[in-house]
Each structure stands twice: as C-alpha cells, then as structure tokens.
Structure 1
C-alpha cells in the first residue's frame, strides 16, 4: 500500500526532470507541470523540517516558527511572481489559498471523516474565534476594493498607501492571534498541539526521548527552501505561456492550481487526521492556514511590493472578493456549532466546485460582455 511518504519521495523525481526540461527546452507546458509537481514534496519536507526544529527549540519559539513558516511555499511562489510583475496572479493566489483551505480541505476532511464516523466534534470556541478573524480578513480586502469602486479617478499610489496601512493593521492582528493561541488562551489549543506533534511529523522516531539533530534539520530547511525557490522560478517563468497552451486563464491558475500545488501536503495532513477522528486538529490546520494567508502572507506581499516597486495592493477583482466572502460565510456557518458530518463536507466541496467552474469560465463571460 502506498504511504504518504512513499508518494512524496516518488514525486522528488520531478525536481531533476523539471530542471532538464528547462535547459533542454522541452516546452513551457512541460516545465510548468513538472516544476509544479516537484514543489509538492519539497513543500512537505519544508514543513517537516520546520516541525523538527520546533521540537528542539521549545513550544514557544517552535510555535512561532510553525506560525511563520506554515505557508512559506506559497509566500515564495508569490514573491517570485510579484518580482516578475504578475500582480494579478499573486492576488489570485491569495484568494485561492483562502478558498481552497476553507472549502476544499475542510470539505474533504468533513466528508471522509464523516463517512467513517457518523459525527465529529471540535471546539466551538476556537471555531468562533477563527470566524471573527476571517470576517476581519474579508473586511480588509473589501475596504480597498470598495474605495476604488466608489471613488472616481482614485490614483494607484493612494490605493497602495491605503493597502500598506491596512497591511500593518493585519500583521498586528496576526501577532495578537499568536499571543492569544500561544500564551493567554493556550489551554484552548492544547489538544490540537498535542495531536499535531504526533500526527504531522513525517519522520518516525525509534526513541521518543531523543531530540532531532538541529544542525541537520536546519540544513534540510535551507536546502529545501532553495530548491522551492528554484522550482518556483521555473513555474512562474513559464506560467503565462503554459496556461495559454493548456487553455487556462491566469485567474483560474492563480485561484485553483497554484494554491493546491503549494499546500498539497498540508491538505493531505488535514484529511488524514480527520479520518482518525481528530477533527480539532483538522479544522486547526485548514482554518489556521487560511488565517495565516489573510493576516500574514497577504500583508507581507503588500509591503514587499511597496519595497520592490511593484504596485501590489488589496484592490481585488470583485469576483475574487465575492468568492472569498461566500467561502468564509459558508465555512463559518458550518463550523460554528463545533460539530461536522459528511453532508456538511459535501456542501463545502460543492461550493468549491461551483466557484472553480465560475473562475474557469470567467474570462469567457468577460469576453462575451
């Protein structure tokens, strides 16, 4: 039977294949597909290395490390795309990451977990706190978009200044959520943390008392990060030509494909633990990743764009905004009672499919209009 680790190690073969495809000029589509597949295991090993380092440095610093590097792959891909001037792709990736975590990941987790266990419970207090934070994220991307839509002739410079100010507020809020979850109200998250230590680590240890080799895992983290950066460069470099050849729009690629590529391993973890009746951890992984994208990754990209001279702001495509709002609304509605079943998972997945179809046909709709 194929295990998660076996699949990840098998996917590593796409690292040399993507590099060969680039230098031997096998075509943009081949480079794009192989580099995307290569990022999947690299992202998983980056997460493993972060977790192993966190074990050594202790719960406080380790929690901060996990919170900071939890979506490092998406951040690297987005920074490279931003540097290449693909601002719309970066914005689409932000919204796509939020949508995929709330609908695709949590949907599959509730569906497959619900098929094995009739009903599954998780802490409603955490669900309500996460719901409030996600509402703030929707407001944060709604305000700049609304200002642009309701103000005639507003300049790009003004929108970027507004976005930078909002980004600073979001980063401060993200810091406060870390303080809440790791310090003042850590007891609410103790179950999830304990399960995370046992479930998310992909490295089996014969002696549980033996701490990981810090130097080794720091080296692994640095090496994998460099490989992710290199593969992301190949991915972004061929993105526009490859998507054109494959008949996909850059909007669909940014919203649907890139978030799945960057977060596939974490998605698998959330579903796996749900099937072991650990829905607390599953919801924590899915919603926590969405929060990190909204409150940390997106603001960092706005600030990075400001320093890089790229006009990155929080003025999103109105349809992207609608999709995020719908995703947050249904996810909050389903998770508010602290209970899940297979039908609720199906509803989340159906919403994701509907939005995915809409993003796929969106350019055609625009063209007809």
Structure 2
C-alpha cells in the first residue's frame, strides 16, 4: 500500500517529464500540469532537508533555518513570476497562501482530527498572539490599498515607496516574532512537547538531540541545494506556461494565483498539518497552519516587495480590493474559531465552507 512518502517519490518522475516537455515544445497546458506536479515532491524534499539540518544546528539556528525556508517554494515561485512581470499573479498567490493555510489547512486538520477525537485542544495564548500578528498583516495590506482608492491620481512611485517602508516594518516584526517564539517566550510554544512521540516531533523539526549523530549533514545540504535549484527550474516552466495554460483551461489569472498556485507550493506542508492533527496533536497542527500564514504575510510578501524594487518591477502592497476582503474574512473567521483553544469537526467544516465560498467567488470573479 502506498504511503505519503512513496507517493511523493513517485511524483519525482514529473521532473524529467516536464523538462523534456519544454525542449520538445509540448503544449502549455501539459507543461503547466507536469511542472506543477513536479514542484510538490521537491517542496517536500526541501522541507525534509531543512528539518534534518535543523537537528544539527540546534534549536535557535535550526528554528531560524526553518523560519527562512518554511515557505521557500512560494518565495521562489513568487520571484520567478515577479521577474516575468506577472504582478497580479504574485499578489494573488500571497492572498491565496494566507487563505489556504488559515481556512483549508486548519479546516481539514480540525475536521479530520475532530472525526477521530470528539474535541481537541491547543494553546489559546499562542493562538491570540498569532491572531494579533495576522491583524497587523491585514492592516499592512489595507493601508496602501486604501490610499490608492481614496487618493485618485496617486502615482505608482509613491505607492511603491510606501510599500517598501511598510515591508521593512513587517520584516522587523517578523524577526521579533522569531525572537519571541525561540528565545524570550519559548515556554509558551513548548507546552505539551514532552507528551509527543519522537515520530511526531520529527515532523516539525523537533526530533530528540540523539538524532544529531545520525544526520549526514553534507548529504542534506546537497539535497536542500539541489531541490532549491530544481524548484527554481520548475517554477520557470510553470510561470512561462501559466497564462496560456490557464486560458485554455478556462481559468482566470486571479483564480489560478489565489487557489491553484498556493495549493501546489503548500501541498507537502498541508499534509503534515493534517497528519499530526489526526494524531491528536492540534497544537502542532495549528502552529504549522498559522505559522505558515504569518511567514507569508510578514516575510514572503515584504521580501517580494523589496525584490520588485530591485528588479525594477512596481510590486506594491496595493492589493485588489476583492483580494483584501478575502484575506480579511479568512483572518477574521480563523481568529474567531481558534481564540478559545479548542476545536471540533464542526469548526473545521465552517473553515472549509468559508474557503469554498471564497474559492467560488474567485472562480466567478470577472477578468478586470
């Protein structure tokens, strides 16, 4: 019977298939689908390599490495799309990643975990801290958009300068959240770890120290570098075929950026969050889902704004108002559901229903 690891290993065959498709000039749809599938196992290998290296580096440096590479796939896809001038797709993927983690991943985790266990619990203090950080992210997206809407004729350079300044603030806040979680208030995040099995700990880079002697550091560094390079190559193929492929499939660039691209980049991480939730480790599952959203909002999005400035692309935090509404709704309902530190299958269903409604809205949203 195939398990998750075997299935991901089988998907690696799409790497040579997609590259061959590029040189043999296969259709855009075929190239888009094969490169998208190829990115999924590569993202999983990047995550595994990061976890193994983190064991050797220790809690502080390992935590920093995980925080940096946790959403490397989305960052690479974003940078490639940014260089190609697909700014709307980049912004849509940021929106979709936040929505997907807060609603789809956390919803699936609560639903499937709740079907196995009547009620599950996690730390409400951590949930409230994460909620405050997500509220800041919404404000950071809201103000540039509000300035554009309320100030007709505002020039693009002013919006970009504002976005760069806000991006610097968000990156500083992200650094402070790492300091908070890994240094000054680690006890809040360590609650319940002693009760976890080693197999559960290893799924979130917290394996016992005794594993350090068994880690082949050069091997995993090579795997991380190799997977990163291949993700960059596959991202180039994905982005190059994106516009024609989505048009032939009857999808808009907005729907593709918000729904399709984030699912591709986050598939492996989604599986981890759901798996640990089904083992009654909801603390861990919520940390993966919400932590990934925070990283997208406070690190990946600001880095893409700075990258746009470097590449000469006018990347700003001025989002489509409809995208902004979707993010606000996702943050609101996720904060509402997680504030009490408990979950059940019905709350998971509500999150999934919210994701489905937003997904349908983006699907039927007319091309602007």
Which TM-score applies when normalising by structure 2?
0.96
Aligned to 1:250: 253
> Deviations for 1:256-278, whole angstroms, at most 9, x for unmatched residues?
00000001000000000000000
Q: Deviations over 1:114-141 (max 9, x none)?
A: 0000000000000000000000000000
Q: 1:44 matched to which residue of 2?
A: 44
Give the match's secondary structure for 1:224.
helix
1:65-80 pair list within 5 angstroms: 65-80=65-80
> In structure 1, how many angstroms separate the alpha carbons of the residues matched to 2:119 and 2:45?
32
Structure 2 distance, partners of 1:198, 1:265, is 15
Q: Secondary structure at the match of 1:80?
A: helix
Q: Match of 1:213?
A: 216
Equivalent residue number for residue 198 of structure 1: 202
Give the Cα–Cα distance (whole angstroms) in 1 for the partners of residues 290 and 264 of structure 2: 18
Say whether the 8 Å CA contact 1:144–1:315 is kept in structure 2: yes
CA–CA separation in structure 2 for the residues paired with 1:198 and 1:191: 16
Question: 2: distance between equivalents of 1:57 and 1:133?
Answer: 27
Q: SS of the counterpart of 2:318? A: coil
Flag structure 2 segments of 5+ consecutive residues without an equivalent: none
- Please report how far the alpha carbon of residue 334 of structure 1 lies from its aligned counterpart in structure 2 after TM superposition: 0.2
Answer whether contact 1:103 1:348 (CA < 8 A) is retained. yes
**Residue 23 (structure 1) shift:** 1.0
Offset, 1:199: 2.6
Partner of 1:341 in structure 2? 344
User: Within 5 A, what are the aligned runs for 1:241-320?
Assistant: 241-320=244-323
CA positional deviation for 1:209: 6.1
**Structure 1 counterpart of 2:227:** 224
Q: 1:85 to 1:348 in 2, by over 3 A?
A: same
1:56 touches 1:211 (CA, 8 Å); kept in 2? no
Offset from partner CA, 1:65-96 (integer Å, 9 cap, x none): 00011000000000000000000100000000
**TM-score, L = length of structure 1:** 0.96
Q: CA deviation at 1:191?
A: 4.0
Check the 8 A contact 1:192/1:281 in 2, yes or no: no
Does the residue aligned with 2:214 lie in a helix, a strand or coil? coil
Q: Deviations over 1:42-74 (max 9, x none)?
A: 000001001100001111000000001100000
Tell me whether 1:116 sits opposite 2:116 in the alignment: yes
